[in-house]
Amino acid sequence: MALEKLRNGEIAAMRASGKPVSVIEEVKPGEPFHLLSVPAEPLAGICSPTTITAEDYPALIEPDKPVTTVAVANALLSYSWPREHPRGQALAKFTQRLYGQYGNLLEGGYHESWQEIDLAAEIPGPQRHWSAEEALSVKTQ
């Protein structure tokens, strides 16, 4: 929908995150679009510097002209339900399943961005849910 609005001139720009982004992959060679370079310095500590190449989006990027930009981290957050609460138990079940089956998401057939996820990564601010701490301790034993 956003790409169609861009093509029709209804919007002047759009933002996308992740790589690859299917809507950007839909751009055809010769269309009058380009990716903007975003300097990382003003966003240091919030975003990570990255580069997008012709290998990522051949219709938009020339082989010898990579685009520098920033990557945005994602996090899956939940309410910190206590262990004895039914929702805490449901969240624990989900977490155990996610951590237990995570290796399957790294195999073929799933979006390649699963390869970039670090279940053990620390993020500033929120405390990791007890069920995730337990799932991590099982994986590291």
Stated pTM of the model: 0.63
Q: What is the pLDDT tens value at each position of the chain, 141 positions in all?
A: 888 999 999 999 988 877 778 888 888 888 888 888 999 888 877 788 899 999 999 999 999 999 999 888 778 899 999 999 999 999 999 999 999 999 999 887 888 778 888 898 888 788 999 999 999 988 666
Question: HEC string of the chain?
Answer: CHHHHHHHCCCCCCCCCCCCCHHHHCCCCCCCCCCCCCCCHHHECCEEEEEECCCCCCCCCCCCCCEEEEECCCCCCCCCCCCCCHHHHHHHHHHHHHHHHHHHHCCCCCCHHHHHCCCCCCCCCCCCCHHHHHHHHHHCC
